[in-house]
Structure 1
Amino acid sequence: MAEEEKTKLRLEIAHVLFIDIVGYSKLLVKQQSELLRELNQIVSGTSEFRQADTEGKLIRLP
């Protein structure tokens, strides 16, 4: 029975992208929004991001 339970386990490795934008909190709200839009565009433009997105491997936070 213990062997059967072990075979049901599925381990995964996760990666987290964390970026700190220096001086972000000092910007106007409109500038913050534009900077985030630009950052998202850069990240989503990478081949690694597009591949992971196509394979359904991404969990996006708002």
Structure 2
Amino acid sequence: MTVARLVVLGLSSKRIARTLGISDLTVRKHRENLLGKLELCDTAQLAVCWPLIAQALQDAAAHDATD
């Protein structure tokens, strides 16, 4: 989730890696996995879809908390 948020903000993999204290390769793998799981072609699609994705995740977390 953190990597996704930073990608949506337009940060490069190198910048995200420095910010989070992880390797550039790890960030690239997270980015690749994220796009694959969401069936998106690129980070531009992620940025456009992010508000809906974030809302769905919040709704799911709220639902889980009430169960």
Q: Which structure ranks higher in relative contact order (CA pairs < 8 Å, sequence separation ≥ 6)? A: 2
Shared fold (TM-score greater than 0.5)?
A: no
Structure 1 or 2: more helix by fraction: 2
Structure showing greater radius of gyration is 1
